[in-house]
């Protein structure tokens, strides 16, 4: 049994942090308390309004997270409220008759009353239940699972895959769909876990209608803004259910700070909003407080904000989660883009992360080298698209303005030297089974990553990329305002025709994916939802694509994972 | 010349010359065989009727192992469309989709690793071509005496079991020599490549099953490699010749497996299919020659020999021993600075495990490059090469009717060429290991 104390002491702030008043969060929280699941009702629900979560599973440890609200005034971002001693327990049984680890931590306003700890001494590949207690009231029970032992060879690994969850654009039905499954080992979130926009700025469809309004009702800039926004997302019942059911492995993309961020600024950052790096430091601080991730390799708060990291799942897979925002140079733009995108000095990873990524790819033990990749690495040309549609495609995918430049420059396409370096490394060492699992662009893709797109397929392929669609963020049909599978279908066919290495593209649907890995193949299923404005909308399996091990080729699979036995090819 | 062709000074005997001499002097005897195929055995093992004398254990042992090496094949080349028979064997058997050739990723050392189960620092065979300090010349490791380790072939022989080698390449015929109970005398031989086409090799293998019925048969099918080496469409990815070879060799493997099933041997058999290395292609503009840059250094000038192995150069210091460390530092620095060089290593680097025969420094090229030493134009003009890390992955799978084998199974383990011998030993229940143990692992 371990006892963890003083987890919140000795915090070294990276910057001077602004804290604000409780403000407008109260109304939202009052609403969401009502929506808290029944098993967490009562006093526990009052103290633990933001659910429980776990993440970054390792063979002997996992990060556990919650937030306690010790007094009514101690709302997120308020910077007020007493210190609170929170007890935690980990058990192999849901009824907690066999507690294997327990301890207590003290949290307080300085860390927005969040609780985050790395529970060690656990057994590999084991389901655990955990809960928190404050003043005798218990949180809901969360379930988590440790990773397989380093030398284990699990039959399969199965992950839910999500990205781009915009509160204002609708309900998180995709989270509900994943939470209803019992066959996952973890959930991968590939970024844009939350959005920075004010109400009315980025919502549902062409008119940006807010299905739900962001709190605070302004673009998040201050630390209080970020804390309140994180808190608001954590009140969503579907999000809470999925966090409580599986450990998550998460990275950020741009919207955790602000749109199209790069290492020195962002498209959605203006001078009036203050120093960009201070803004980013506040965003990272709130992220460190509110997310079940290890930053700089620890669950301690404020000891660094390095988010790129490896998580090993026995010998079957290793997931290398990338951070493609913090170290990148500014995105190419405008008519000179063609020169900028080939600039060898331009980087999307930064030097240290590039070295680390190449080490990840060269590690001999993992069978599948999964790269949690916030933005697409497959080259995509949009050269043949009609100019009338370029703007809409641009808005979905984060492309260049409609100036005829046929590249997706916010993605790896804007940093061709880095992509070439990764692919050259793969080719030089004949790295097998590199699998990029990607989010960001609000659409589903399956692609072979060619060494030379101009010589595809003869020139060979170095990896495979599966891209999940957005949970709620607008896609092409939402922006064009056209019915599903009309305008988008023509665009999809044009892109597929001009990019033969891309085998699947769905610009119209929201949803989630499920990725399954075994020693024969990797398969990703795409699930799509109905109307994201409907909390109870339908969910259905859409398509599946597979890559057989060591082929770097993609083909369609016609049997979804939930109809297969584990280990089936 | 790269390490893939035969390398002999004019006038020196080739391995085939040595084999013919053994027959002429009576040290080996031709066995009676059908189909115009010639098998030889040690004189003492042949009966008066041209058959093999059979020990009692051989009569009791029904298990059979066939190790088929599809020389130079890439794992991704085994597909349902291109190689349907190999693909069927792979997916219905047990596969290791992350299997590897071992340094140096060349034919001779990896075939030796397959049969010895030990790495080159223990077998004495690190590459195809080495600089022989005694002869003061670069030569192929194609002599039986070059192989210092015990082989699974000899271990089975000592148990009274029959073994056979059907090796299409001259230098493999040479290095494995007379170790097997029965040896195919390859014919016809293509002069430049020094190998027998797969059509003849597979016929010989089938005939050996009929006539000798070895418990372990070791087969090298050289066409995929040989066509790949010379395929000028390789750098563009078309690989026209290569694809033709894959198609044909696949059909030959299909015939061989069908023959085992028709004979009723399949139910007792394990067929292990793998490659010794894979292949990479380069254009004439992507050639590295270290001889010039090394010679430009006054300290090294005239005191470095290079054994070119296609994708790997082995550098040998021939100057004073007391100057070796300085020479190694300079060789490493100069090699690493050359365009196209992926990495250069002190040969004593632990993971390489190459032994002193590999010289002082090992240099690997990047994908899409090759070495041509000592002459940048003439030493290695062929587009297809291996020996460098890009050519490390190989296919590796087993199938067969023996109840011990798994079917439709896959392993995430990294299988290696050095695993073959312990796998065969395990299958036959051979106890005991080489002194110092196996370097590989039994995979069944």
String of DSSP letters for A338-369: HHHHT-TT--SS-HHHHHHHHHHHH-SS-SEE
Contact A514/A567 with Cβ under 8 angstroms? no
**DSSP letter string, B127-171:** -SEEEETTTTEEEE--SGGG--S--HHHHHHHTT--EEEEE-BHH
Cα of B91 to nearest chain A Cα, Å: 9
Give the distance from residue A430's alpha carbon to the nearest chain B alpha carbon, in angstroms. 5
CB < 8 Å from B in window 521-560 of A:
548-553
> Rg of the Cα trace of chain A?
22
Q: For residues B211 and B162, give the distance between their C-alpha atoms in angstroms, rounded to a whole number.
A: 12
Angle at A291 between CA A287 and CA A294, to 5 degrees: 90
Contact at CB, B392 and A519, closer than 8 angstroms:
no
CB of B97 less than 8 A from some CB of A: yes
CATH number of B287-382: 3.30.1360.180
For the segment A294-303, the average pLDDT, to the nearest whole number, is: 96
Going by the DSSP 8-state scheme, the letter that residue B276 receives in this structure is S
User: Inter-chain contact A430–B391, Cβ cutoff 8 Å?
Assistant: yes
Confidence of residue A9 (pLDDT cuts 50, 70, 90): very low
Dihedral class, residue A150 (left if φ above 0, else alpha if ψ from -120 to 50, else beta): alpha
User: How many angstroms separate the Cα of A209 from the Cα of each of A170, A474, A532, B71, B290?
Assistant: 10, 11, 12, 63, 67
Question: B residues 22-81 near A, CB within 8 Å?
Answer: 75-76, 79
Kindly report, residue by residue over A408-426, the tens digit of the pLDDT. 788 999 899 999 999 999 9
CA distance B192 to B219: 21
| Domain residue ranges in chain B | 62-281+390-428, 287-382
Residues 6 or more apart whose Cβ sits within 8 Å of residue A255: A191, A192, A194, A195, A196
- A12 contacts chain B (CB < 8 A): no
Residue A364 sits at the chain B interface (C-beta within 8 Å): yes
Edge-first strand listing for the sheet containing A114-119: A114-119, A61-67, A52-58, A248-250, A186-189, A157-162, A511-517, A521-529, A539-548, A555-557
Residue in B98, B234, B397 to test binding to A, most A beta-carbons within 10 Å: B98
Q: Is the peptide bond before A457 cis (omega within 30 degrees of 0)?
A: yes
Inter-residue contact A414 to A167 (CB < 8 Å): no
At the fourth CATH level, the homologous superfamily of domain B62-281+390-428 is: Alkaline Phosphatase, subunit A (3.40.720.10)
- What was the pLDDT predicted at A335? 37
The first and second tokens of residue B188, run together, are 């016809």
**pLDDT score, position A17:** 25
Interface test with A, best of B412, B413, B443 (most A CBs within 10 A): B412
Eight-state DSSP code of residue B232:
T
CA distance A489 to B351: 53
Contact A550 B97 (CB under 8 A): yes
Say whether residue B413 is in contact with chain A using an 8 A CB cutoff: yes
- Mean pLDDT (chain A) is 88
Please, which residues bridge with residue A143 across strands?
A129
Average pLDDT of span A421-439: 97
Could you write out the three-class secondary structure of B315-375? EEECCCHHHHHHHHHHHHHHHHCCCCEEEEEECCCCCCCCCHHHCCEEEEECCCCEECCCC
At residue A398, the pLDDT reads 53
Range in A170-174, A306-310, A334-338, B405-409 with the lowest mean pLDDT: A334-338
Contact B79 A551 (CB under 8 A): yes
Helix or strand (DSSP H, E) at B99: strand B99-100
A568 interface with B at CB cutoff 8 Å: no
Residues 6+ apart with CB under 8 A from A331: A260, A262, A409, A410, A414
Q: Is the pLDDT of residue A434 over 50?
A: yes
pLDDT of residue B13: 82
Tell me the HSE value of A262 on the side-chain side, using a 13 A CA sphere: 17
pLDDT band with cut points at 50, 70 and 90 for residue A12: very low
CA distance A457 to A452: 9
Tokens of A544: 């599946």
Helices then strands, counting H and E runs in chain A, come out as: 12, 24
3-state SS of A114-146 is EEEEEECCCCCCCEEEEEEEECCEECCCEEEEC
pLDDT at A486 over 70: yes
How many angstroms separate the CA atoms of B424 and B438, rounded? 12
CA distance B372 to B288: 6
Respond yes or no on whether the N-terminal peptide bond of residue B381 is cis (omega within 30° of 0). no
Residue B278 in contact with partner chain A when CB distance is under 8 A? yes
Report pLDDT for B17. Answer: 87
Residue A25 has pLDDT above 60, yes or no: no
The rounded distance, in Å, linking the Cα atoms of B195 and B167 is: 9
The answer to whether the CB atoms of A520 and B410 lie below 8 A apart is: yes
Residue among A358, A369, A448, A550 with most chain B CBs within 10 A, to mutate: A550
Distance CA A379, CA A396 (A): 16
Cβ-contact A377, A327 below 8 angstroms: no
Give pLDDT, residue B6: 58
Angle among Cα A348, A352, A354 to the nearest 5 degrees reads 50
Which residues are paired to A118 by β-bridges?
Answer: A63
**Separation CA B144–CA B59 (nearest Å):** 29
Read off the tokens for A55. 């993440």
Mean pLDDT of A453-478: 93
B410 and A519 within 8 Å at the Cβ level: the answer is: yes
Q: What pLDDT does residue A332 have?
A: 82
Of A153, A427, A459, the CB nearest to B412: A153
Q: How confident is the model at residue A165 (pLDDT cuts 50, 70, 90)?
A: very high
Q: How far apart are CA A244 and CA A250, in angstroms?
A: 15
Q: Is A566 on the interface with B (CB under 8 A)?
A: no
Structure tokens at B271: 């067929």
Q: Which residues of B touch A429 (CB under 8 A)?
A: 389-390, 392
Q: How many angstroms separate the CA atoms of B70 and B67, rounded?
A: 10
User: Which residues in chain B show pLDDT less than 50?
Assistant: 1-3
Is residue A242 over pLDDT 90? yes
Contact A288, A295 (CB under 8 A): yes
Does the distance separating the beta carbons of B393 and A519 come in below 8 Å?
no
Residue among A427, A458, A520 minimizing CB distance to B238: A458
Give the distance from residue B371's alpha carbon to the nearest chain A alpha carbon, in angstroms: 15
Residue A26: per-residue pLDDT: 23
């Amino acid at each position: 049994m371990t006892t963890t104390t003083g987890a919140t002491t000795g915090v070294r702030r990276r910057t001077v942090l602004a804290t604000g008043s409780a403000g407008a969060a109260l109304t939202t929280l009052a609403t969401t308390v009502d929506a808290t699941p029944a098993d967490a009702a009562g006093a526990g629900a009052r103290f633990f309004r933001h659910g429980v979560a776990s993440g970054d599973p390792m063979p002997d440890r996992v990060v556990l997270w919650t937030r306690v609200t010790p007094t009514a005034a101690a709302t997120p971002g308020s910077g007020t409220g007493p210190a609170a001693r929170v007890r935690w327990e980990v058990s192999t049984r849901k009824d907690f008759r066999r507690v294997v680890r327990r301890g207590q931590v003290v949290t307080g306003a300085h860390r927005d009353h969040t609780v985050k700890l790395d529970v060690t001494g656990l057994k590999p590949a084991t389901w655990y239940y955990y809960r928190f207690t404050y003043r005798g009231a218990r949180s809901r029970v969360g379930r988590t699972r440790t990773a397989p032992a380093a030398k284990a060879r699990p039959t399969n690994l199965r992950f839910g895959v999500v990205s781009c969850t915009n509160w204002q654009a609708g309900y998180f039905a995709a989270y509900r769909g994943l939470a209803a499954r019992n066959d996952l080992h973890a959930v991968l979130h590939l970024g844009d876990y939350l959005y920075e926009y004010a109400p009315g700025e980025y919502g549902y469809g062409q008119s940006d209608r807010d299905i739900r309004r962001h709190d605070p009702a302004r673009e998040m800039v201050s630390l209080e803004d970020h804390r309140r926004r994180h808190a608001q997302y954590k009140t969503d019942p579907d999000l809470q259910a999925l966090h409580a059911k599986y450990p998550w492995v998460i990275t950020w993309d741009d919207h955790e700070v602000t749109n199209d961020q790069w290492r020195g600024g962002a498209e959605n950052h203006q001078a009036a909003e203050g120093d960009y790096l201070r803004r980013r430091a506040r965003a990272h601080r709130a992220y460190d407080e509110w997310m079940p991730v290890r930053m700089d390799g620890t669950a301690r708060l404020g000891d660094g904000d390095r988010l790129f990291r490896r998580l090993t799942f026995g010998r079957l897979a290793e997931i290398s989660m990338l951070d493609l925002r913090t170290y990148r140079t500014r995105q190419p733009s405008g008519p000179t883009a063609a020169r900028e995108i080939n600039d060898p000095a331009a980087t999307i990873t930064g030097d240290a992360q590039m070295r680390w990524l190449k080490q990840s790819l060269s590690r001999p033990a993992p069978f599948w080298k999964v790269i949690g990749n916030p933005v697409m690495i497959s080259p995509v040309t949009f050269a043949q698209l009609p100019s009338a549609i370029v703007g809409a495609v641009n808005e979905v995918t984060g492309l260049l303005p409609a100036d005829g430049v046929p590249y997706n420059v916010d993605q790896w396409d804007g940093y061709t030297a880095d992509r070439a370096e990764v692919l050259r490394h793969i080719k030089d060492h004949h790295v097998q089974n590199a699998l990029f699992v990607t989010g960001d662009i609000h659409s589903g893709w399956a692609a072979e990553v060619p060494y030379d797109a101009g010589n595809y397929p003869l020139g060979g392929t170095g990896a495979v990329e599966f891209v999940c669609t957005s949970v709620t963020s607008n896609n092409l049909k939402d922006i064009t305002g056209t019915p599903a599978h009309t305008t988008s279908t023509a665009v999809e066919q044009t892109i597929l025709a001009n990019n033969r290495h891309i085998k699947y593209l769905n610009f119209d649907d929201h949803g989630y994916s499920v990725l399954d890995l075994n020693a024969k193949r990797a398969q990703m299923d795409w699930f799509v939802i109905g109307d994201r404005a409907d909390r109870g909308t339908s969910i259905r399996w859409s398509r599946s694509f597979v890559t057989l091990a060591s082929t770097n080729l993609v083909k369609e699979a016609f049997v979804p994972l939930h109809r297969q036995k584990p280990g089936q090819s | 010349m790269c390490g893939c062709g035969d390398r002999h000074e004019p006038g020196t005997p080739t391995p085939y010359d040595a084999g013919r001499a053994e027959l002429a002097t009576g040290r080996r005897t031709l066995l009676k065989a059908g189909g115009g195929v010639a098998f030889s055995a040690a004189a003492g093992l042949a009966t008066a009727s041209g058959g093999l004398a059979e020990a009692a254990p051989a009569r009791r042992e029904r298990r059979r192992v066939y190790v088929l090496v599809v020389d130079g094949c890439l794992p991704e080349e085994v597909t349902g469309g291109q190689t349907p028979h190999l693909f069927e064997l792979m997916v219905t058997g047990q596969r290791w989709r992350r299997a590897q050739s071992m340094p140096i990723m060349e034919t001779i050392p990896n075939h030796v690793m397959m049969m010895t189960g030990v790495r080159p620092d223990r077998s004495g065979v690190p590459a195809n071509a080495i600089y022989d300090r005694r002869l003061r010349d670069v030569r192929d490791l194609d002599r039986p005496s070059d192989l210092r380790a015990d082989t699974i072939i000899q271990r089975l022989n000592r148990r009274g079991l029959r073994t056979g080698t059907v090796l299409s390449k001259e230098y493999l015929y040479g290095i494995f020599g007379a170790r097997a109970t029965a040896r195919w005398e390859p014919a016809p031989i293509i002069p430049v490549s020094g190998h027998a086409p797969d059509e003849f090799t597979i016929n010989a293998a089938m005939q050996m099953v009929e006539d000798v019925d070895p418990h372990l048969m070791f087969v090298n099918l050289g066409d995929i490699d040989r066509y790949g080496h010379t395929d000028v469409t390789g750098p563009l990815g078309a690989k026209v010749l290569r694809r033709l070879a894959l198609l044909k060799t696949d059909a030959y493997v299909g015939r061989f497996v069908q023959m085992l099933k028709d004979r009723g041997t399949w139910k007792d058999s394990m067929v292990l299919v793998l490659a010794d290395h894979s292949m990479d292609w380069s254009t004439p503009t992507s050639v590295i020659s270290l001889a010039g840059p090394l010679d430009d250094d006054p300290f090294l000038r005239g005191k470095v020999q290079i054994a070119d192995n296609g994708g790997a150069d082995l550098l040998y210091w021939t100057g004073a021993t007391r100057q070796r460390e300085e020479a190694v530092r300079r060789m490493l620095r100069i090699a690493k600075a050359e365009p196209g060089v992926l990495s250069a290593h002190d040969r004593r680097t632990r993971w390489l495990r190459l032994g002193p025969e590999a010289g002082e420094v090992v240099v690997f090229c990047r994908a899409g490059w090759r070495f041509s030493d000592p002459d940048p134009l003439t030493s290695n003009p062929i587009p297809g090469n291996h020996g460098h890390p890009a050519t490390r992955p190989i296919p590796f799978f087993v199938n067969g009717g023996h109840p011990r084998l798994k079917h439709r199974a896959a392993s995430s383990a990294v299988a290696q060429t050095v695993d073959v011998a312990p796998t065969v030993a395990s299958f036959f229940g051979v106890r005991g290991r080489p002194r110092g143990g196996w370097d590989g692992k039994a995979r069944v």
